[in-house]
Structure 1
Amino acid sequence: MAHTLIARQPILDARLRVFAYEILYREPESPDRAPRGTADAASFSVLVDLFTSVDLERFLGGHRAFLNLTRTALLRLAEHPVGVGRLVVEVLESVPADEGVQAAIRGLRREGLEVALDDFHLDGGHQALVPLADYIKVDIRALGPGELAEHMQALREAPARLVAEKVETQEEWERCRELGFDLFQGYFFARPETTRHHRIPTNRAQVLRLVARLQDPQVGLEELAELVSQDAALSYRLLRLINSAYAPEGEKVGTIQGAAALLGVEGLRAWGTWLALALLDDTPTELRVVTLARARMCAMLAPEAGMAEEQGFLVGLLSTLDALMDTTMGRALTPLPLVGEVRAALVHRAGPGGRLLDAVEAHEHGDWAFLERAGWDPERLAEAHVAATAWAEELKATV
């Protein structure tokens, strides 16, 4: 798997809880490139590699994996099932709904695998597969408002969950939910609900004031520890984090001062900021996981972009601040005493930090072609993405 490019895209339910992830990837040594937000169809050998060479349990956080397969791989999987209980096989719109494919789908379902019809269209020739599907995915960007409503009306009685694909804004999510979709795929949850707010909501403003103090370069280690100690919820979460991820084996850290000694000033600044943002309980859990994974991935890749690891971590950590604060990025950053390089990266995508953040987000979307055009090594980013995502999934339970 060293040469397989892999990323994941969340599929959420109506309560914004993760239901599954679609695996985005490119096969080793393939000249093809997946367009933004999509994945190539997998060969059977890549499918086997995914389930034997990648720790999918950690990478997926225990959730299902949606994966596009070629027709040949679909037929072979029916003969040699892997991923039972975890894999959802996506049947591309280009795969003919012939007797062989229908028989393979029936066989997969008997073995305990689930099947999704990808990019379903009423005129696409997959109507014969509808009774066999567990999920039907509809690309909302390929249909006008009237066509989308027509599709939903036609699929209302289908024995499958309906998945809205390429949902990129809160407004689109609300519209799809009203139409009756069950699941939603895209990064709409990582964007502000509206950019028209002139005032940040009170609970968010309180957290932002705390973050501003944590990021103040004039505040030293002792004062940082005192600041954290004044918030019971923040103190509790920091001690949980320290004892699960940092404390020496067999030892227990029981005070914020002890945690500060272990983390140091920059570590306490970074983790205090993350945990303060995690106090916003009305934000989707997946947004916090994406934030933490981005921070870790940016830190891992920062030296290659010409940044210090600590600055890379901060750029990734604050990259979703607009969504967390439900306002524009510029407005969210106004009270924070950030160095110019970090602010430029977040607001204007400028400088080394902007280049780094663009690369990390492109990888999240499976845009391997962009990474190569921008001079990045996609394999290096894939390696960092898998490690950072698994790390974020493990830490999720501690906060």
Structure 2
Amino acid sequence: MTDTPRQDHADHPLRVRDFYLGRQPVLDRNQALFGYELLFRSTPLGQANIGQGGAAGAPATGTTPGLNATAAVIAHAAQLGLARAIGDAHCFLNVDTDVLGSDIYAFLPRERTVLELAASVMPTDAVLARLAELAGHGFRFALDGIGSASAGDSERLQRLLPLARFVKLDVRNSSQPALTALVARLHGMHQTVVADKVETRDDYQACLDLGVDYFQGYYFARPSVLGGRKLSPSQLAVLELMNLVTSDVDNAGIERAVKRDITVALNLLRLVNTPAVGARQRIDSVSQALLVLGRRQLQRWLQIMLYAEPGTRGHNQTPLLMLATTRGRMMELLAQRLRPGQRHLSEIAFTAGIMSLMDVLFGIPMADIVEQIPVSEEIRNALLRRSGFFGELLKLAECIEQPHPQDEGALPALRGLAIAGDDMVELEMAAFQWSDSVVRYAI
């Protein structure tokens, strides 16, 4: 294996400026993060014009045109700092025969990279030899999209299964009895089973009961209104502090309120000392935190604390915390890029982003949340109606998170905001890295 990409892939006709990243979490049975599947999608971003209602360029397909284009895109993304997109997690990447034959792999963290073999990958002698070579360098493989209809004893599966560490099951297109038999069979062959397209909590519970090892999808981020659910004392304390911070209470009053709950105080100090804050010296007291951060920044860390409640480490708050901090930071960076010099707008964008998942966190409707937590009319419109500037940013962030953004309106949102693909990827990676830094300290 060489250390540089082949020239034919470096010169691939795909314009690598015209893509953005999708990142979908893969969680273990405790709902803690195991990895991300990275999706490289093409988009006519560079052709868009803000403020003009017409279409900007030809519509994109939602994924890069042909998996062989993935080689060029991965190489380009890796040069931007692919590790920023995954942190310490594993990275799942879709590959076909052309990508398998490329030399993009020098760019990848091989000990944490899982190559998903597309359905088009046939187990020819040359392909099997290449898989053995890559396995020798530390890469692992997954068979993608296996369902009951494709789970027969085909020659392809018989030859590829011994080389695969993971098998990803399409749970949306398989019956429960078929999945039960398939999971049992795969476990009998010592395979690690990943349930793909897990989009509801019912999907998750059904797969959990089957004994599935990992789960991919955004089931943890779907609102589920639970009757009679009460907020924890810690969450109530943080909400009280958020109200004080936005009121006329002086800093001494806020400091007294923080110190009344030692757990809140300690968690706050841990968070404000993360590298994400960028403080030049360690912050050792609540009063110092108030002086160094100011009220707007203190409010930000209190919002994050709601998702990082003590005693829930490794459980459902963890992926939600990652998603909320990534979404908030992404919207903040987008606002900075689109409205330079207007810092207050980027701060509002962050708040709208991180609050957009509080209905999931608390299990109560968003309309009730904006009545209980004082917010501006701009944030209210964004959260309830996805309208206004911040509503557009929120729609874009939500669409990019989806596995099939062309069905969710991502491309119109991207065209409307007119950010070049290269710029978008840079903002995404910065948001991923910032979120990873926060979560390391918060859980």
Q: TM-score, normalised by structure 2?
A: 0.79
Match of 1:322 among 359, 362, 378: 359
Coordinate RMSD, CA, aligned: 3.1
Q: How does 1:89-108 map to 2 (within 5 A)?
A: 89-108=115-134
Secondary structure of 2:39 counterpart: strand
> How far apart are the structure 1 equivalents of 2:104 and 2:439?
35
Partner of 1:242: 272
> How far apart are the structure 2 equivalents of 1:348 and 1:11?
30
Tell me if 1:298 matches 2:335. Answer: no
Distance 1:79 1:60, change over 3 A: closer
> How far apart are the structure 1 equivalents of 2:249 and 2:387?
27
Secondary structure of 1:112 counterpart: coil
Tell me if 1:381 matches 2:409. Answer: no
Tell me if 1:134 matches 2:151. Answer: no
Deviations 1:264-285 (Å, cap 9, x if unpaired)? 1211222223224422542432
Tell me if 1:58 matches 2:88. Answer: no
> How far apart are the structure 2 equivalents of 1:288 and 1:266?
20
Distance 1:243 1:127, change over 3 A: closer
How far apart are 1:90 and its partner, in Å? Answer: 0.5
Whether the 8 Å CA contact 2:241–2:254 is kept in 1: the answer is: no
Secondary structure of 2:145 counterpart: coil
Partner of 1:397: 440
Partner of 2:262: 232
Whether the 8 Å CA contact 1:9–1:364 is kept in 2: the answer is: yes
Whether the 8 Å CA contact 1:298–1:313 is kept in 2: the answer is: yes
Partner of 1:68: 94
Percent identity of equivalent pairs:
27
Deviations 1:303-340 (Å, cap 9, x if unpaired)? 53898112111111111112221333333444212222
Distance 1:248 1:141, change over 3 A: closer
How far apart are 1:167 and its partner, in Å? Answer: 0.8
How far apart are 1:241 and its partner, in Å? Answer: 3.3
Match of 2:388 among 351, 362, 386: 351
Match of 2:61 among 24, 33, 39: 33
Whether the 8 Å CA contact 1:78–1:104 is kept in 2: the answer is: no
> How far apart are the structure 1 equivalents of 2:257 and 2:105?
60
Partner of 1:168: 199
Partner of 1:157: 188
Distance 1:386 1:314, change over 3 A: same
Distance 1:218 1:79, change over 3 A: closer
> How far apart are the structure 2 equivalents of 1:359 and 1:103?
42
Distance 1:78 1:105, change over 3 A: farther
Q: Which has the higher contact order (CA 8 A, sep 6+)?
A: 2
Secondary structure of 1:279 counterpart: coil
Whether the 8 Å CA contact 2:42–2:61 is kept in 1: the answer is: no
> How far apart are the structure 2 equivalents of 1:172 and 1:214?
40
Tell me if 1:47 matches 2:80. Answer: no
Tell me if 1:13 matches 2:37. Answer: no
> How far apart are the structure 1 equivalents of 2:389 and 2:34?
35
Whether the 8 Å CA contact 1:200–1:327 is kept in 2: the answer is: no
Distance 1:187 1:281, change over 3 A: farther
Partner of 1:372: 411
> How far apart are the structure 2 equivalents of 1:20 and 1:398?
18
> How far apart are the structure 2 equivalents of 1:44 and 1:22?
16
Distance 1:80 1:292, change over 3 A: closer
Whether the 8 Å CA contact 1:210–1:276 is kept in 2: the answer is: no
Deviating above 6 A after TM superposition, structure 1's stretches of 4 or more consecutive aligned residues are 28-31, 78-81
Whether the 8 Å CA contact 1:6–1:366 is kept in 2: the answer is: no
Partner of 1:213: 243
Distance 1:137 1:231, change over 3 A: same
Partner of 2:294: 264
Which 5+ residue runs of structure 1 have no aligned equivalent?
none
Distance 1:264 1:81, change over 3 A: closer
Instruction: Give the stretch that moved more between structures: 302-311 or 349-358.
Output: 302-311
Partner of 2:145: 119
Distance 1:256 1:90, change over 3 A: same
How far apart are 1:80 and its partner, in Å? Answer: 7.2
Equivalent AA in structure 1 for residue 302 of structure 2: G
Distance 1:223 1:272, change over 3 A: farther
Deviations 1:230-281 (Å, cap 9, x if unpaired)? 32222223323334444654x3332212211111121122222322442254
> How far apart are the structure 2 equivalents of 1:202 and 1:325?
10
Partner of 2:322: 289
Secondary structure of 1:398 counterpart: helix
How far apart are 1:87 and its partner, in Å? Answer: 1.4
Partner of 1:191: 222
Whether the 8 Å CA contact 1:228–1:272 is kept in 2: the answer is: no
Whether the 8 Å CA contact 1:244–1:398 is kept in 2: the answer is: yes
Which 5+ residue runs of structure 2 have no aligned equivalent?
1-15, 45-57
